[in-house]
Structure 1
Amino acid sequence: MTARAVLLGLLLSVGLVACKEKTGGRVSSPAAGADVTLKPASVPQINAPAPEKAPSESITSEGKEPDACLPDAPEVPKAPPPPFALSGRLGLWVAQVDPVTLKVMKAVGTNPNSDFPLASTYKQAVLWALLKKFDQGEVSPTERFDVTRSNQSLGAYPFDGMTVRDLSTRMIQWSDNTATDIIHRRVGLQSVQDIADSLGLCKTRLIMPTRNWWVMEAGLSDTFNNTSRWANATGKERARLAALIDEDARKYRYDYIQRKLDSYFDNSYDPKDDLKAHNLSTPYEFSTLLAHEYLNPGLSARAVKWQRDVAQKGFGRYALKAQAADNIAWFGGKGGNGWRILTYSGYFQTKDGRHVVYAFMQHGADETYTMPNTRRAFAWINAGIDAVIGVQNPRPKTPPVPQEARSSKPGTDSAKAKAAAVKGAEKPLPKTPQP
């Protein structure tokens, strides 16, 4: 089976025929026709709070520079070496934090201040931005959206008319890129970036929906192609360029983007491009964001309930030794992967009241398809956790393997890597890779 066949099967796996909406089944050329504006579907809303004015899509707001940047990570012991070999650039931060002050009580780290592409783990910030808008009365959980030519990203996607509440679950539990992009654009590109800026996370970029990454790397954004300012842009300049790149990204059908991306991965991939196109952060800064998101989110009780219900569905809990030791009271997390990229991050509270955040980042791996590295990654995360809060001894009973982890996808590793790069999935393989 060719790589393209595998990818096409992945993109059509949910049984929907993309790009035929309102066209009588005809598929237009990639650049033909007017761009479709993202808008709520015409479905009655039940028990939705009545905003003062009708909600409208807010793509950008005026970006502001942070008042001050968070200093680099405090001096802490180096993280234990990975128990099993991991290739590429690696970063890790594991910390126990004070639940009131959020100060680091004890931590270990490796390259905690280095930039890494976040892949799908950034979606935790999109959830937080959504919940802030919910509390402000600007977004209703019962708003419904259709999948259109301009908002469909790569990979699996939701059915038409899905609510914001359900989209948020798909975003975290199934790493659905289209669901993520709908939410990201609904709350506003800058609103997600504001999460980082308000915390002084000056090395963290969260402003781009997933489709925009692919369009930039595939060479389809004239704005991105014709400026050298994007990678280092901040504040108003970043907001302005992001809005222009977003306009570029919405001009193309998903399958056209996919073909261009195939060619890019096959012929001209450069790891440096990931740092220009993807959202990015450092292990320390992103762990700081998670500490605030889960311990001091500034949300109402209703929003916190929504957050906790969704965030606990993210991948990671059952890969932690602390879970096997029956020592996790609550967990929220997310992972992501792409072409030579793997990321895992999260927060958990132990049953004896300790609060732990972690962020693992791998970039430029030797393996194009990085999912077999999942257990190696968590072996390192768990070694860091043991060093911070004490050795977590699993009980004899082994946790059941999640249903989604019981079958592997067909195709070559190269084909799987391309699929992972656009799908944002994070399903571990059924067998532990041998060191």
Structure 2
Amino acid sequence: MMRTRPLKVALLGCGVVGSEVARIMATHADDLAARIGAPLELAGVAVRRPSKVREGIDPALITTDATALVKRGDIDVVVEVIGGIEPARTLITTAFEHGASVVSANKALLAEDGATLFAAAEKHGRDLYYEAAVAGAIPLLRPLRESLAGDKVNRVLGIVNGTTNFILDRMDSSGAGYSEALDEATALGYAEADPTADVEGFDAAAKAAILAGIAFHTRVRLDDVHREGLTEVTAADIASARRMGCTVKLLAICERAADGRSVTARVHPAMIPLSHPLASVREAYNAVFVEAEAAGQLMFYGPGAGGPPTASAVLGDLVAVCRNRIGESTGPGESAYTRLPVSSMAEVVTRYHISLDVADKPGVLAQVATVFAEHDVSIDTVRQQGRLDSEGLGGEASLVVVTHRAPDAALSGTVEALRKLDTVRGVASIMRVEGE
């Protein structure tokens, strides 16, 4: 039966995502009410610039006092889409204290201090839902948290940033360099005016922390995630990957150790075989590949950002939280019972693609191979190609080495030793090979 008293919703932030949330609440009001069992009422919208015209929103609902809004006491659910650490953290915990549940899209806050939010939600018997924090409209967190709750997830491998995927896709498909591809992404609106959070991997690292925490039932913070951006990826790296039957993607990788005693979380560019499902993810799309013990391999794919996709995820959480309010229950909270340590990048075991600029003379390959052997890094393939120097003469060569699986610490030691060889002019690039 439909409950006549509406559930009151406070919206914190009315930018691209917040305005779309408000629009969907208004245009699909009847459907949402039918699904929830009660009508929704937008009770207030906290913004920074109240003078801005916001189509479809009653100006009487606009306020600059977000704290007063979440303290009202009659608010059932607070939707937080302002982002950042503060004032978002204080506003969310204040909302819990005054009886509201929370739906958030704030990946940075959840990765930085999710434990504080979960503790506050549990203390006050309220929900904290955050599907929109990772991969936009793709139903990902709820399947990990609920559908796979009876399974054991061993690995999560994904493309979780649309901007970087667009850049790498353009570099691969058109032969463009990094700067040229970034300019195109900016012109099309995929990249922000300041793209640092995307291209340096901060955005993906926050999402990796959230994914690892849910997948492995342990607390993983942003500082635990090894992070490398894609600014050093060159057209030569893309071409070399193509010769190997691979493509380059910025990947978020969360793994359980083989002995089950620790986990790792990392973000970095990597070569993956063209046969892997993630290799076909184009443009600004996201995809996440999950490997579970019983369910096997699962892949989640779709638009990972933008107003409508992110708002879709927010509304899905809003419906679930409102149903819980009516039923006087709460959904699953934080699950961190395993308390597994997060290992450093030095302990990660994977393959590597290393490109060296070397002197083109006899004995160089033997010297290089000796350095790899001394550091217990086994070589899989070697490709050497001579080239002319700046004066049009010979004497230089490009040496590409692909290793078997080895610990990252062993690779670091190998690279440092290679740099000390007189015959090695420089280490042009180092890239991991994943997904095989």
Does TM-score exceed 0.5, indicating one fold? no
TM-score computed with the length of structure 1 as normaliser: 0.22
Q: Which has the larger radius of gyration?
A: 2
TM-score computed with the length of structure 2 as normaliser: 0.22
